[in-house]
């Protein structure tokens, strides 16, 4: 029995299969304070989960934070996407755009950046409850996607030349 299991174990170890470990963020993101977004926002909640999975934290107080994620704009728009020949709305588009920058503990900042996503959903005026439920689900999917995109952007290495050093204040 042992002779059968040993070759199988050796085959699995040599095939290149490895369990994915926990993604490690740069230590500068160990404790991140998010400014300009409510903790009840679906994007914040998704970000919080992503940070927990990396053994990093979103903190609720800027004191002691290693970086501050500043949300300059978080806008969700609903637009008409498709109109029937009878001039009734058949499809809407939900569009969400987040503008942000990061301020590090040493005072350096990243340039302002944008991420955005759009999703279409069908609208049935006779099934308003179903359409509302569909819209809620689409909003949640947008939040998940944008949180992941934001997280991946934070996880990407930054060239030092792209960091902005704020103007020094004159001594008094």
Assign domain 21-157 one CATH number from 3.40.50.720, 3.40.605.10, 3.30.160.150, 3.40.50.2300: 3.30.160.150
- Give alpha helix (H) positions in the chain: 2-14, 42-52, 128-155
What does the pLDDT look like over 93-148, one tens digit per residue?
899 999 999 999 988 999 999 999 999 888 777 765 555 677 888 889 999 999 99
What does the pLDDT look like over 37-93, one tens digit per residue?
999 999 999 999 999 888 889 999 999 899 999 999 999 998 888 888 888 888 888
Which stretches does DSSP call E strand in 53-88?
Answer: 57-59, 67-83
Strands laid side by side in the 31-35 sheet: 57-59, 31-35, 67-83, 89-104, 113-122
Q: Which two tokens stand for residue 43?
A: 């994007």
Helix (H) or strand (E) holding 90: strand 89-104
Q: Which two tokens stand for residue 115?
A: 């991420």
């Amino acid at each position: 029995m042992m002779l059968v299991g040993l070759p199988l174990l050796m085959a699995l170890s040599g095939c290149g299969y490895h369990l994915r470990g926990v993604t490690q963020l740069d230590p500068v993101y160990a404790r991140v304070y998010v400014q300009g977004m409510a903790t009840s926002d679906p994007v914040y909640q998704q970000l919080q989960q992503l940070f927990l999975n990396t053994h990093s934290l979103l903190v609720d107080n800027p004191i002691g934070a290693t970086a501050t994620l500043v949300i300059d704009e978080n806008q969700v728009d609903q637009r008409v996407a498709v109109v029937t020949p009878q001039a009734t709305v058949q499809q809407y588009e939900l569009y969400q755009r987040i503008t942000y920058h990061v301020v590090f503990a040493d005072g350096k900042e990243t340039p302002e950046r944008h991420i955005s996503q759009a999703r279409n959903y069908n609208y049935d005026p006779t099934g308003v409850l179903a359409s509302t439920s569909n819209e809620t689900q689409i909003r949640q999917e947008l939040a998940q996607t944008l949180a992941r995109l934001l997280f991946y952007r934070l996880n990407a290495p930054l060239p030092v030349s792209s960091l902005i050093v704020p103007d020094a204040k004159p001594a008094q």
